[in-house]
Amino acid sequence: MADLGYVGLGTMGGRMAKRLIDAGHSLVGYNRTRSKAEWLIKAGMAWADSPREVAERSDILLSMVTNTAAVISITDGPDGIIAGLGPGKIYIDMSTASPSKSRALAQMVHARGAAMLDAPVSGSVSTLEEGKLSIMVGGDRATYEKALPVLLDIGPKVTHVGANGLAVAMKIASNLSLAVQMLAFSEGVLLAEKSGIRRETAVEVLLNSVAGSPMLKYRGPFVLGMPEEAWFNVNMMQKDMLLALEMGRELRVPLPTTAVTNEFLTAARGMGLDREDFAILFRVLAEMSGVEG
């Protein structure tokens, strides 16, 4: 097995790293806040003091951080990932970032003699822990084939979508519908509730109807009680919506439902709910409807 590295050991990245350890891989990792990685160190992960050190000590390096700025922060500079890359190494960024910035990063990686894939995921904490995560991959086909066994240890469905940057473009195209669906679901629940139907009954009926998408089956019950830890908070979701709107302007694709839903995310932030899971959209709409969320 290749020596693996992982940078960014948050809610999703940490759980992906644990799956790699459980699959028998030798793993070295780095996270900005070491305390959040202690559970992985106890599980057998070696610790590195910088992203560069992780790159130097691994054949295949993966990362997952919050946004484009965070990707730049772990890859740039003397202690960044790029400085630690060399011929034959593979860097896989699993973050959801700007497609154009991802392509530019791939060029810098290639200049070091290494190869890069963008490999964002579709799913949540629940789908990851159930072993149902879906991964989309952008980059050279030969590099994809080399990295495929590692990616399959994270999730069972891995799809090569094309050149560098196209996987993050596909992820953004996919993610915009998550918040749109949540807002539409919230509208339906509230309309039923104000008609006199119990909220619990409305949720049950909707989730067992043709409208009950896989995402809603996981997140729809949150309108009855929010999770203690956000699976994907308002700030993170709005980041993806803004990336979608930026792509829409560049490609001249109108995104009306994305734009409207994005405003409700702004409202959630204005209400101080930015750290809540984006299912908090229900509460925003409920308060506008005169219903306790």
Q: What is the largest CA-CA distance in the chain?
A: 66
From CA 275, how far away is CA 187, in angstroms rounded? 22
pLDDT band at 141 (very low <50, low <70, confident <90, very high): very high
Q: Residue 200: its pLDDT value, please?
A: 97
Q: What is the mean pLDDT of the chain?
A: 94
Q: In residues, how long is the chain?
A: 293
Q: Which fold has domain 4-163?
A: Rossmann fold (3.40.50)
Give the phi and the psi of residue 197 in degrees, each rounded to 5. Answer: -90, 135
pLDDT in tens, 172-215: 999 999 999 999 999 999 999 999 999 999 999 999 999 899 88
Confidence check: pLDDT of 237 > 80: yes
* Residue at token pair 């702004």: 266
From CA 226, how far away is CA 37, in angstroms rounded? 25
State pTM to two decimals.
Answer: 0.86
**The tokens of 160 are what?**
């090569």
pLDDT in tens, 5-30: 999 998 889 999 999 999 999 999 99
> Residues 139, 141, 146, 149: is their CA dihedral positive or negative?
positive
* Residue at token pair 């979508």: 161
Say what percent of the chain tops pLDDT 70: 100
From CA 192, how far away is CA 285, in angstroms rounded? 13
Contacts of residue 129, defined as CB under 8 A and 6 or more positions apart, other chains included, come to 15
* Residue at token pair 């500079």: 77
> Residues 224, 230, 235, 237: is their CA dihedral positive or negative?
negative
Start and end residues for every CATH 1.10.1040.10 domain found in the chain: 170-288
Q: Nearest CA to 243 among 255, 232, 233?
A: 255
**The tokens of 132 are what?**
């149902």
Q: What is the CA radius of gyration of the chain?
A: 20
Q: Is 74 within 8 Å of 65 (Cβ atoms)?
A: yes
Confidence check: pLDDT of 166 > 80: yes
Q: Please give the average per-residue pLDDT across 225-237, as a whole number.
A: 91
Start and end residues for every CATH 3.40.50.720 domain found in the chain: 4-163
For the ranges 120-124, 228-232, 279-283, the maximum mean pLDDT occurs at 279-283
Q: Nearest CA to 176 among 237, 252, 247?
A: 237
Confidence check: pLDDT of 147 > 80: yes
From CA 73, how far away is CA 237, in angstroms rounded? 20
3-state secondary structure (DSSP) of residue 4: strand
Domain 170-288: state its class.
mainly alpha
> Residues 11, 16, 17, 23: is their CA dihedral positive or negative?
positive
Q: Nearest CA to 28 among 2, 54, 51?
A: 54
**The tokens of 168 are what?**
């993050």
pLDDT in tens, 56-107: 999 999 999 989 999 999 999 999 999 999 999 999 999 999 999 999 999 9
Q: Residue 1: its pLDDT value, please?
A: 63
